Homo-oligomer: A and B are copies of this chain.
Amino acid sequence: MTPDELMRRAISLSLEQMQAGSGGPFGAVIARNGEIVAEGWNQVTSSNDPTAHAEVVAIRRACAALGRFDLSDCEIYTSCEPCPMCLGAVYWARLQRMHYGNDRKAAAAIGFDDDLLYTEVPKPIAERSLPTSQLLGDEAHAAFEAWAAKPDKIAY
């Protein structure tokens, strides 16, 4: 499939699944060498899962289909520029390229204010709208020391 065809599939999912009541109007496709590995669409409200954005769902399914947590030989086609959560997932999955349809301004115009999240994430902790405090940092560090010393750890 061509890039245009893959994006059109992501767009179709965004419209059809939204109309079917799955959630917001967002679809995503993960492809390898022009072939679809997995598809995802927003399922936040239908599955009661605030992390079930199209990109996260597609990444989870692609990893399940391929049996690995690294998608560095794959590309993602998403019907809308991802929010920071989904962008983070794209990086963690090591996807090699991203294609998007709508941009974040278009999303904000219909009530999805990803832009707010993009301003919150880079802020110093004390300046964010989310009340946040550090607790027991010294005790928490023991697990990090154990990880550093673990001989058979699997890096990711």
Contacts and interface: CB of A to CB of B under 8 A. Distances in A.
Given A130-B97, A144-B107, A137 B102 contact: yes
A131 B97 contact: yes
Nearest to A155: B111
Q: Count copies of this chain in the complex.
A: 2
A121 B133 CA distance: 22
Interface of A: 3-4, 7-8, 10-11, 14-15, 18-19, 23-27, 44-45, 48-51, 53, 56, 59-60, 63-64, 67-71, 77, 79-81, 83-103, 106-107, 109-111, 117-118, 120-122, 125, 130-137, 139-144, 146-148, 150, 154-156
The 10 closest A-B pairs by CB, nearest first: A101-B140, A85-B88, A25-B143, A122-B122, A15-B143, A25-B147, A50-B92, A14-B143, A84-B88, A45-B154
18 contacts: A18-B143, A23-B156, A24-B147, A25-B144, A25-B147, A49-B60, A49-B63, A51-B56, A79-B143, A80-B140, A84-B87, A91-B117, A95-B130, A98-B132, A101-B139, A102-B137, A103-B134, A110-B144
